[in-house]
Structures are given as structure tokens and as C-alpha cells.
Homo-oligomer: A and B are copies of this chain.
Amino acid sequence: MSPKSDGATVITAPETDVEGVDNEAVTKNLVFVAAERLFALHGFQNVSVRDITAAAGVNLASVNYHFGSKDALLYEIFRRRTVELNRERAKKLHEATDRHAGNPPVREILAALLTPPLKWLAPDHERRISLQFLIRARSEGTDEIRKVLQTDVTHLRRFSDALLKARPDLPSEEIYWRLHFTLGMLHNNRFAEFDRLNVLSEGATSEADVEALLGRMLAFAEAGFSA
């Protein structure tokens, strides 16, 4: 990506802290934020350590000093954002469970799964770029990330269990497949796919209204589960 420009090459006001507060200007945080942004926009393989440190305005050796390696940096960003996103989802699922005496309907379960990432997608949301990062990391990440995605399904199981309970009439495999389909819909929300959709619809579709998008996705997925 070297020949390209990036708007602002130096991150002046990162909105994310690495460990606590008052470390906005700390090198480690500058690297974290710049790397997340560049990985999300251009992909892991297309961004070099030099690109990251240049964008962050720090020394080349910073990545290896603070994170150990480029791979470890990617993994740390991935881990933190995943935890953050899944915590929001789990909280929503928990609330829905409380609201419905331990057995929420399909729509509420799907809402708990889809609402947090779609909220992040809003144009002015501070996690907008993080969501793009997560989507990319899922398919372009390192072997370690891929292994974690395949191995650690504890978070996802909360949702499949809830769905199994909400639809005891369906064969369990059917539940898993429909969950798989729903996740496919979600992970298709990449900038590039939106651009393609906008060309196809000649501007009739706008992903800026995430509330509307969430409503459409929920309606589509819920109908799919009721098939």
C-alpha cells in the first residue's frame, strides 16, 4: 500500500486506550490504533510494519518492542476487539433472557447477535473501523487467529443454545445451519460489498442508516428461521 495516500498519515487523536486512561499519546497506543485502521482498510498482508509506524509517527522498532512481532500485534487487536464485541452481544442476550423468563424468542436472540456489530457500523461510531478490521481478520488473518476462530466457539454456543431452546421443534442441525447463514449475512457487510451494492442499485441503497439495515437483516433472518 506504500504508493497510496491515506488522508491523515499521522493519528493525532486516537480514541482508544491500550490499558487505561491518559495514554492517548503513548507509543503503544498509537501503534495499536494506526495498525487497526490500516489493517481494516488494506488488509494484513498489504500493510507493512513501516506503514504502521509511519502512520503512527513512531519509530520502526516500536511494533516489535511493544508487541513482539507483527503477527502478535494483529492478534492483540483481534483479541481485544473480539472480547469487546462479544461482551456487548452477551449482555444483550442476557437481558433478553431475563425479559422472557429464560426463553427469549428467535428475533430477540438474533437481535442480540446482530445489533452490536451493526451499531459499530454507523458512520460516526468510534468502532466503525474495528468492525471492518474484525471482518477482514476473520478471513485474512494468521493461522493463530484462524485456529482460535475454529476452536473457541463458547461464545457462539450461547446463541445456538438459546436458539435450540427457542425452537425445540427444529432439528438441531437445522438451527446450526441457519445460524451459519445469518453469520454469513453479517460478515458480508464490508465496505467493498456496500460499494458493489450501491453500484448495482444505482444509489438506492445506503448503508449509512444502520437502524434500517438492522431492521432489514433481522426481518430477513427471522423469516429464514421461520421457514
A interface vs B, CB < 8 Å? 43, 45-46, 136, 139-140, 146, 149-151, 153, 156-157, 160, 172-174, 176-181, 183-190, 192-193, 195-197, 199-201, 204-205, 213, 216-217, 219-224, 226-227
* Residue from the list B46, B153, B181 in contact with A196, Cβ < 8 A: B153
Tell me how far the C-beta of A104 lies from the nearest C-beta in chain B, rounded to whole angstroms: 19
List 6 A-B residue pairs with CB atoms under 8 Å apart, sorted by A's residue number. A156-B200, A173-B201, A173-B204, A176-B201, A184-B193, A219-B224
Question: Which residues of chain B have C-beta atoms less than 8 A from A43's C-beta?
Answer: 140
Q: Closest residue to A201 on the B side, CB-wise?
A: B176
Q: Closest residue to A197 on the B side, CB-wise?
A: B180
Q: Closest residue to A204 on the B side, CB-wise?
A: B173
CB of B223 within 8 A of CB of A197, answer: no
Q: Closest residue to A135 on the B side, CB-wise?
A: B139
Tell me how far the C-beta of A44 lies from the nearest C-beta in chain B, rounded to whole angstroms: 9
CB of B196 within 8 A of CB of A149, answer: yes
Q: Closest residue to A220 on the B side, CB-wise?
A: B224
Q: Closest residue to A194 on the B side, CB-wise?
A: B180
CA distance A187 to B173 in the complex (A): 20
Copies in the complex: 2
Tell me how far the C-beta of A115 lies from the nearest C-beta in chain B, rounded to whole angstroms: 16
Tell me how far the C-beta of A209 lies from the nearest C-beta in chain B, rounded to whole angstroms: 11
CA distance A114 to B183 in the complex (A): 18
Tell me how far the C-beta of A113 lies from the nearest C-beta in chain B, rounded to whole angstroms: 13
CA distance A179 to B196 in the complex (A): 12
CA distance A102 to B151 in the complex (A): 48
CA distance A179 to B221 in the complex (A): 13
Question: Which residues of chain B have C-beta atoms less than 8 A from A199's C-beta?
Answer: 150-151, 153
Q: Closest residue to A221 on the B side, CB-wise?
A: B224
> Given contacts A150-B196, A184-B188, A204-B172, is CB(A220)–CB(B227) below 8 Å?
yes
> Given contacts A199-B150, A199-B153, A221-B224, is CB(A181)–CB(B172) below 8 Å?
no
CB of B140 within 8 A of CB of A205, answer: no
CB of B227 within 8 A of CB of A173, answer: no
* Residue from the list B140, B177, B183, B192 in contact with A150, Cβ < 8 A: B192
